Amino acid sequence: MVARVDLVSDRDILDELLLARRGTAFFARQLNQLTDIGLDGESLLPGWTRRYVVAHVGYNARALARLVEWGRTGIEMPMYDSVDARDTEIRFGATLSPIALRNLFDHSAVHLNVEWRDLAPSSWLAPVRTIQGREIPVSETVWMRSREVWLHAIDLDNGASFSQVPPAVLSRLLRDITGAWSARGSDAGLILEVTGPDGITEYGDLGASAPARVSGTLADIAAWASGRDRPEVTARLRTDLVAPRWI
């Protein structure tokens, strides 16, 4: 019988699933607030209309569902055949009618959620591979999806902001970003100082002897580091630095 609740009982995975599902609902609200004509407007991603963002998020759910199915069956199911195939799929998706584009998001999100819900506890640690060739446990697909929906809801550029994203998501996002910088060596001498009620949390090149520091709230630092800052964010951060490339 198909499960109606998550089969997994691991508290950490359940917490991650909650954040991903909340992010999916957040993206859905932003999408539903857009008119069909509004889908043709520009997003925060250079060269992409909102249509491209929605298509990307929809096909991303399908790709992650393939990884979950791989973990469940043991039969290799790549996210995409290639990077070119992924890009071609997104370009096609952006040409869909508004109702078809909205259905793509809705149906793919439901499919992924069902794959997670019905996954046996023993399968969450099964190894699969991302499109970059990185081996991960199936459980990592939850964070991958959470990052996509929360961040791209902001990219729709119709009112969502980093201040609406849960701190747990923003903190992990900063760890991803600064980890990518470190892997490329592009974070040399740069420290991000996140100020909050519990003090200051630092990310970046913590061993630098004379670092350049960018300080601000968790939301503003995440916006800046991910390349999605606005003039008002930069002003609050009081920096003329440009964040290194993330992805």
User: Burial, 217: exposed, middle or buried (Cβ in 10 Å; 0-12, 13-18, 19+)?
Assistant: middle
Chain position carrying tokens 């959620």: 113
The domains found in the chain, sorted by start residue, are 11-160 (1.20.120.450), 165-237 (3.30.1050.20)
* Single-letter amino acid code for the residue at 42: E
Query: Global pTM?
Result: 0.93
Does residue 90 contact residue 48 with C-beta atoms inside 8 Å? no
pLDDT in single tens digits along all 247 residues of the chain: 455 899 999 999 999 999 999 999 999 999 999 999 999 999 999 999 999 999 999 999 999 999 999 999 999 999 999 999 999 999 999 999 999 999 999 999 999 999 999 999 999 999 999 998 999 999 999 999 999 999 999 999 999 999 999 999 999 999 999 999 988 888 778 889 998 888 889 898 888 888 888 999 999 999 999 998 877 787 888 888 888 888 8
Q: Which of 107, 114, 106, 109 is nearest to 69 (CA)?
A: 114
- The token duo for 127 is 């190894």
* Single-letter amino acid code for the residue at 156: L
